[in-house]
A and B are shown apart, each in its own frame.
Chain A
Amino acid sequence: DAGVIQSPRHEVTEMGQEVTLRCKPISGHDYLFWYRQTMMRGLELLIYFNNNVPIDDSGMPEDRFSAKMPNASFSTLKIQPSEPRDSAVYFCASSRGYRDIEQYFGPGTRLTVT
Chain B
Amino acid sequence: GQQVMQIPQYQHVQEGEDFTTYCNSSTTLSNIQWYKQRPGGHPVFLIQLVKSGEVKKQKRLTFQFGEAKKNSSLHITATQTTDVGTYFCAGPQEGNKLVFGAGTILRVKS
* Residues of chain A at the chain B interface (Cβ within 8 Å): 31, 33, 42-43, 45, 48, 50, 55-56, 91, 93, 95, 98, 101-108
Interface size on B (CB < 8 Å)?
Answer: 18
With A42-B103, A43-B88 as contacts: A98 and B96 at CB distance below 8 Å: yes
Pick the contact of B96: A43, A48, A91, A106 (CB < 8 A): A48
Stretch from B12-20, B43-51, B53-61, B68-76 at the A interface: B43-51
| Chain A binding surface SS class | strand
Q: Which residues of B contact A106 (CB under 8 A)?
A: 42
| 16 residue pairs A–B, Cβ–Cβ below 8 Å | A42-B102, A43-B100, A45-B97, A45-B99, A48-B97, A56-B97, A95-B96, A98-B96, A101-B92, A101-B96, A103-B33, A103-B45, A103-B98, A105-B42, A105-B44, A106-B42
* Contact in complex: B97, A43 (CB < 8 Å): no
Whole-angstrom distance between the alpha carbons of A98 and B60 in the complex?
30
B95 within 8 A of A: yes
A43–B43 contact, CB under 8 A?
A: yes
